[in-house]
């Protein structure tokens, strides 16, 4: 990352998304939020950033961000919804979500709203005919084992 840019750090409850502007964390105050941006005395970061995927559909986030940081630059990155679903699934697996660890991506996306992943009903995914209608994004094969770690960009 460029030396003038610094990202928020993950926390035990927040993982890598602080979720400050859209939920109850906002009421913890600005000092709590800034605790996710510790900068050593010799740091030269001119720009701080954090990301939270749920800011996009939050009604509170834009108002709160504008009131606290009126000159902030907001960047929205849109990705294909199927890629987003696959990313969410991998995120859940990496954080030990029981349903994501128990079921492959194909089973999770074909289970349906009446049987949320992790519930007893989800333990019996739909019939093969129903499951075959879903596919992993961009022609990827459904995941049946833990993902390999991703390489970090330099």
Q: Which residues are annotated as a binding site for 3'-phosphoadenylyl sulfate?
A: 87
Rounded distance between C-alpha atoms, residue 135 and residue 110, angstroms: 9
Helix (H) / strand (E) containing 7: strand 5-7
φ and ψ at residue 6, rounded to 5 degrees:
-135, 140
Nearest Cα to 53, choosing from 73, 35, 38, 75?
75
Q: Which residues are annotated as a binding site?
A: 87
CB under 8 Å to 8, separation ≥6 — which residues?
A: 16, 18, 36, 37, 48, 49, 50, 51
On whether the CB atoms of residues 136 and 143 are closer than 8 A, the answer is yes
CA distances from 21 to 15, 59, 79, 105, 121 (A): 16, 10, 22, 30, 35
């Amino acid at each position: 990352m460029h030396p003038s840019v610094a990202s928020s750090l993950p926390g035990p409850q927040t993982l890598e998304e602080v979720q400050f502007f859209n939920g109850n964390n906002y009421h913890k105050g600005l000092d709590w939020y800034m605790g996710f941006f510790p900068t050593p005395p010799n740091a030269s970061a001119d720009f701080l950033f954090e990301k939270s995927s749920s800011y996009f559909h939050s009604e509170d986030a834009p108002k709160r961000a504008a009131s606290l940081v009126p000159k902030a630059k907001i960047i929205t990155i849109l990705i294909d919804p199927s890629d987003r679903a696959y990313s969410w699934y991998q995120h859940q697996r990496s954080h030990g979500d029981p349903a994501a660890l128990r079921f492959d991506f194909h089973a999770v996306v074909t289970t349906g709203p009446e049987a949320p992943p992790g519930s007893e009903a989800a333990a019996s995914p739909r019939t093969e005919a129903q499951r075959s209608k879903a596919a992993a994004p961009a022609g990827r094969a459904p995941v049946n084992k833990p993902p390999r770690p991703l390489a970090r960009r330099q």
